Amino acid sequence: MNLRIFKALAVAAPLLVAAAACTDPTVAPKSTVTGANIWNDPNSYAEYMAKLYGGLVLTGQIGPNGPGGEGDISQIDEGTSEYLRLNWYLQELPTDEAVIGWNDPGVPDLNLWTWTSTNTIANAMYYRVYYQVVLANEFLRQTTASLLASRGVSTTLKTQIQQYRAEARFLRALAYWNGIDFFGGIPFVTEADPVGGPPPKEAARDSIYRYVVSELSAIKDSLPLPSAAVYGRATTMAAHMLLAELYLNAGVYTGTANYAGALTEAGTVINSGYYSLNPVFHNNFTSDNNLSPEIIFAALEDGSHTQTWGGMTFLVHAGCGGSMQASWFGMDYCWGGYRMKQQARRQFSAGDARGAFIYGRQTAIDSTTAERMRDSVAGKAKSSWTAVDSSVTDSVINIGSYNYGAAGPKFTNKTSTGGPGSQTTMIDTDFPIFRLGEAYLIYAEAAVRTNTNLATALGYFNALRQRAYGNASANIASAANMTTDTLLAERTRELLFEGKRRTDLIRFGKFTGGSYLWAWKGNTPGGAATDAHFNLYPLPANELSANPNLTQNPGY
């Protein structure tokens, strides 16, 4: 070889390399994991699933929230953007159950029925639904057999991932259920739609309903069976329970009722043998409620590791106010948030353990002379209540003042034995999404509406009442007494503040219209009839400008 050429090359090569460096501005991130390499870590599959489940209670990557702007959902306060807190606002505030005096964006409009397509809460819920859907889709895309093979994933992990895939599809189904329940017809995206693709088409409410039903039917047996080891995870029974919820409301979602389906699915859950009623009702809502045999599916919270300003942290703190002591609930201080409306409060009778937590008024209460609504529930006349302040009533005359309406601190950060949670700001209590008590009520309602299995239904119905009263004294005598009105009232007592109320009222035909009025319905203190378009929340105004394929729900 010509030595000069060789030498020239030896000089030129580094120069060329240097020249390339001097003309190529590309810099790849060093200290951040990117989409290009994340899946090279076998742990990432479980970590991604933790994110997907965590989407139910966590709001971002810094718990309980980042210094600003780091939340999963933007354009809303991060703490408020939590899945179950949004769900709770939308399911409870416009109904006969709850009111909140805060002026946080979007909240007053829900109290007063003045929400529009820019309502912060409804918008955030919509995006929270799709956040879950998109996360699940990405997981399904990234865990196809061929991709797993190309990454050399171990066979053990591959088996695990198969189950993860079913769980991801469950969580997507859960999100889509909330989506069609709140918003009707919505965009439809699956793992077949790539990230950054064109705006998706809108699918009709019933078509997404059918998709969700088919998904759940397809995956239910790939999901694990309930056990302490999979507490908090999507199980076969959780899938049956979600199917029961879907069938129960099929009439609303599709126009064709399917109470028989609901009866079957609820029956499957009840008869599976995995669950039993917690003998102490209240222990479903304590910081050790993970031990309750009644919970079918729950979002898991932990004061130390799973911190959020939503979920139970919100429910426990916001349920305490007035002169109530935060320490009664094992926490640092009260937020003075939601109270009961009189319509819900007055459905509780004396002796019902489910009403034992209800306080009559919020001023001048201390731990010894706690003047609780159970005094009135016990039949005492208002005049005999201790130190009656006539300015204080259980009627929500004034939303802004905590003095009006009854406090109902159903949830607590104390354990069933009165012990403390792991800390006082962040709550340990898990959020029960499905529990056996509700399965009983679904069964009872489906039986009544299909006029079948009434004796069994009556048994389930009375089981709840017997637990509430500690004896059979308040049992109802015959299945004939299980009218739709009794069923709806029983749902108030059993499921108060559990985030299902609006769906129930719609199914019973009482959410809009004038057949049932409650405080502030239709923006009047005494309640007024409302238009049927309120049965759906509006699609976000921002979404309509970003996705030209969508049509706004009527009336907005």
Interactions with another protein, residue window 160-189 (CB under 8 A): 186-189
CA dist 362 and 343 (Å) reads 18
Our finding on whether 466 is near another protein (CB under 8 A) is no
Our finding on whether 366 is near another protein (CB under 8 A) is no
As given in the structure block, the two tokens for residue 555 are 């009336």
Query: Considering CB under 8 A, how many residues would be counted as binding another protein?
Result: 108
Q: Which residues contact 275 (CB under 8 A, 6 or more apart)?
A: 226, 237, 269, 293, 294, 295, 296, 436, 439
Interactions with another protein, residue window 189-208 (CB under 8 A): 189, 193, 195-200
CA dist 347 and 342 (Å) reads 9
Our finding on whether 432 is near another protein (CB under 8 A) is no
List 515's β-bridge partners, or say none: none
Q: What is the rounded radius of gyration, in angstroms, for the C-alpha atoms of the chain?
A: 26
Among 268, 362, 412, 492, binds another protein (CB under 8 A): 362
Our finding on whether 80 is near another protein (CB under 8 A) is yes
Interactions with another protein, residue window 227-286 (CB under 8 A): 229, 232-233
Q: Smallest distance, Å, CB 312 to another protein?
A: 14
Our finding on whether 64 is near another protein (CB under 8 A) is yes
Among 2, 4, 14, 26, binds another protein (CB under 8 A): 26
Determine contact, residues 135/167, Cβ cutoff 8 Å.
Answer: no
Interactions with another protein, residue window 278-317 (CB under 8 A): 300, 302, 304-307
Q: Smallest distance, Å, CB 355 to another protein?
A: 23
Our finding on whether 120 is near another protein (CB under 8 A) is yes
CA dist 375 and 187 (Å) reads 50
Interactions with another protein, residue window 29-58 (CB under 8 A): 29-35, 38, 44, 46-51, 53-54, 57-58
Interactions with another protein, residue window 4-23 (CB under 8 A): 22-23
Determine contact, residues 328/462, Cβ cutoff 8 Å.
Answer: no
CB-based burial label for 402 (10 Å; 0-12, 13-18, 19+):
buried
Our finding on whether 149 is near another protein (CB under 8 A) is no
User: Helices marked H in 151-204 — which ranges?
Assistant: 155-183
As given in the structure block, the two tokens for residue 35 are 């989409």
Determine contact, residues 305/397, Cβ cutoff 8 Å.
Answer: no
Q: Helix, strand, or coil here: 306? A: strand
For another protein, which is the closer residue by CB, 104 or 206? 104
Q: How far is CA 269 from the centre of its chain?
A: 20
Q: Smallest distance, Å, CB 388 to another protein?
A: 15
For another protein, which is the closer residue by CB, 284 or 403? 403
Among 92, 109, 215, 265, binds another protein (CB under 8 A): 109
Q: Measuring CA to CA, which residue among 92, 104, 513, 532 is closest to residue 341?
A: 92
Show the site string, 377-416: x = touches another protein by CB under 8 A, - = not: -----------------------x-xx-------------
Among 119, 278, 492, 503, binds another protein (CB under 8 A): 119
List 113's β-bridge partners, or say none: none
Our finding on whether 131 is near another protein (CB under 8 A) is yes
